[in-house]
A and B are shown apart, each in its own frame.
Chain A
Amino acid sequence: MTTTTVRDDTARALAGGEAPRRWGAWYIAEHRIRAMKGYAGDALFQSFGNPLIYLFALGVGLASLVPQGVGDVSYLQFVAPALMATAAMTVTANETSYPIMMGFKWNPIFYGMNASPITGGQIVSGMMIHIALRAFVTVAIYFGIIVLFGAVPSALGWLSIGTATLTGMAIGVLISTYTSTIEEDRGQMAMLQRFGIMPLFLFSGTFFPLEQLPVWLQPIGWISPLWHGTEIGRVLTYGAAEPLWLTVTHVGYLATLFIVGLWATRKHFVRRLNK
């Protein structure tokens, strides 16, 4: 047994807190990536399987009913960037719904993390780093497949991997803002899927231009992060015509949602973990 004074302990504590203060979020991301070992196969299969199914069904099947395409591009080219952004949303919505609730309730790992030098805010950031990585990989695979389908004529198309990921994250942090407050499971997740994710998917100019909707339904698209993400994707993958200010607005809107959602989620985590 070594004898140490409290002064030694204080010095040891101040030194011990340094690395976690700086890198805590990355340690959490590392944990979540390690936990993927259990479902990496499924995740990868989804990343390849989903785009193939959607592209065949919509880009090839439904497209045959729209031989004139949309505007100047084929239906496949029109729908591909929307599907990419939707894929990102699917990943982030999955990762920010049950896993967040579980981390507080059924597999309460957040309390364990919070008992270490990691803070509530870092837990959120770490979770989001992992989710962003997952969304990024999924979207990148999607993009590769879309390229193979010949749906990306623009040289700037690859930038849409980033914007689709941002779209997914903007939606993800909004969901986590809500799910981090849920104490009891009363079917909120199913409601979120039915009345949140599904309408977003259907009314965000995914399958047809937003202008096709009656004027009174169009605001759903304007507030929908998915619509903004899809529109940037169209600008980048096939050069859809739109004023620059609008493209900037799309990016600004998504970035704002992401920052506000991240801030709110962090606040909820800290409040809940440090009661």
Chain B
Amino acid sequence: MSQPVISARQLTKTYGDFTAVAGIDFEVAPGESFGLLGPNGAGKSTTMRMVGAVSTRTSGELNILGLDPNDHGPDIRSQLGVVPQQDNLDQELRVRDNLLVYGRYFGLPRRLVAERADALLEFAQLTDRKKAKVDDLSGGMKRRLTIARALINEPRILLLDEPTTGLDPQARHILWDRLFRLKEQGTTLVLTTHYMDEAEQLCDRLVVVDKGSIMAEGSPASLIREYSSREVLEVRFGSDKNAEAAERMAGVGDRLEVLPDRILVYSENGEAALERITSLGLEPITSLVRRSSLEDVFLRLTGRSLIE
């Protein structure tokens, strides 16, 4: 890996007795798309705020673009683009004005900011809404405007905290498409998400975070390979019968995971596992064979679901 643009060693953040981030280590290479995957409250946003050079670490080392954020907050932030979990556009300003004032924060000349604002409105597919009030935009449009705003300084690193939470599927796909283009252009992306499909779509490499600690690290495919089987069979027998059925299914597949509403059978061949189950005289109400996902990795690592 070339020299990292972000490097964290034993990075820790505590609030009184509560440890939000418990000594994590990670590195992000230039141009890489790096994800922090974990449930709400895992410490992802706190990590992002430390990487964003706004929250001071309690201990450990953190280096961003070769600088320590404790000493060089403004310098580091001049090279970051930040898309926070909660939109913080200025609702008192119109769409284009939001980009104009934000560009000025970086000390950029007005003419340059105006040029970039128009190009970014195009990129965010918001040119026809440039005079609209922010309040009149849909959730997806606001997210795209926030991303456009984060790009006004042509950042070396773009930090995205739960970029598609609360968006409908269509808006998510438009956003993913825009982020994918940035990735292709070589922008380093760091994103947090609790959506496994988002992590699979956008991340070259990710860490699975839970309770402030890193549970696993790797590419989405390698994590799935390492911590899950190729396929998963999901069977439902009715919530009161799942446990009993699971007892009879012992030995089917590589591993069983009994959830309140269904049983997951981890197997290299889901169809074969289903045949085994029916041969045992069990008749599931529904059955589904699918590919393993990061959700399964998370379940394996923590014993819990990502979205609870």
Interface residues of A (CB under 8 A from B): 1-2, 4-7, 9-10, 12-14, 16-21, 23-24, 27-28, 30-31, 34-35, 38, 107-109, 111-119, 273-275
Contacts and interface: CB of A to CB of B under 8 A. Distances in A.
Given A35-B92, A119-B73, A111 B66 contact: no
A12 B157 CA distance: 13
A13 B67 contact: yes
Given A34-B100, A38-B92, A108-B88, A13 B65 contact: yes
Interface in B53-83: 54-56, 65-67, 72-80, 82
Given A34-B100, A111-B84, A119 B74 contact: yes
Contacts of B84: 111-112, 115
A254 B152 CA distance: 41
Interface in B11-26: 15
A16 B79 contact: yes
Pick the 6 closest A-B CB pairs, nearest first. A19-B107, A16-B78, A17-B75, A10-B66, A116-B105, A1-B186
Given A9-B156, A30-B104, A115 B78 contact: no
Contacts of B91: 107
Contact of B74 (A5, A10, A21, A112): A21
Nearest to A12: B79
Given A13-B67, A14-B72, A20-B105, 11 more contacts: A6-B3, A9-B5, A9-B66, A13-B78, A16-B106, A30-B104, A111-B88, A115-B52, A116-B153, A117-B107, A274-B56
B44 to A, nearest CB: 16
A208 B97 CA distance: 47
Contacts of B30: 4, 6, 9
Interface on chain A toward B: helix, strand, loop, or mixed SS? helix
B102 interface: yes
A274 B156 contact: no
A12 to B, nearest CB: 6
Interface centre among A4, A18, A27, A273 (most CB of B within 10 A): A27
A275 B90 CA distance: 22
Contact of A17 (B55, B56, B74): B74
A1 B185 contact: yes
A274 B79 contact: no
Given A6-B5, A10-B65, A10-B67, A115 B90 contact: no
29 contacts: A1-B31, A1-B185, A6-B4, A9-B65, A9-B66, A10-B66, A10-B67, A12-B156, A13-B66, A16-B78, A16-B79, A16-B107, A17-B78, A20-B105, A20-B107, A21-B74, A27-B104, A30-B101, A34-B101, A35-B93, A108-B86, A109-B89, A111-B84, A111-B88, A116-B78, A117-B73, A117-B78, A117-B106, A273-B54
B3 A34 contact: no
B145 to A, nearest CB: 12
A270 to B, nearest CB: 10
Interface centre among B15, B92, B149, B185 (most CB of A within 10 A): B92
Contacts of A30: 101, 104
Contact of A14 (B52, B54, B75): B75
Contacts of B79: 9, 12-13, 16
A19 B67 CA distance: 18
Contacts of B185: 1
Interface centre among A13, A23, A115 (most CB of B within 10 A): A115
A31 B75 contact: no
A115 to B, nearest CB: 4
Given A4-B30, A21-B74, A274-B56, A112 B88 contact: yes
Interface centre among B30, B78, B105, B106 (most CB of A within 10 A): B105
A8 B150 CA distance: 21
B66 A7 contact: yes
Contacts of A119: 73-74
Contacts of B149: 112
A274 B56 CA distance: 7
Given A12-B156, A117-B77, A6 B52 contact: no
A6 B65 contact: yes
Given A20-B105, A20-B106, A34 B93 contact: yes
A113 to B, nearest CB: 7
Contacts of B54: 114-115, 273-274
Interface centre among B80, B104, B149 (most CB of A within 10 A): B104
Contacts of B73: 117, 119
Contacts of A116: 77-78, 102, 105-106, 153
Contacts of B5: 6, 9
Interface centre among B52, B106, B153, B186 (most CB of A within 10 A): B106
Contacts of B89: 109, 112
Contact of B90 (A31, A273, A274): A31
Nearest to B64: A13
A107 B65 contact: no
A112 B239 CA distance: 46
B90 A35 contact: yes
B101 A20 contact: no
A248 to B, nearest CB: 39
B192 to A, nearest CB: 15
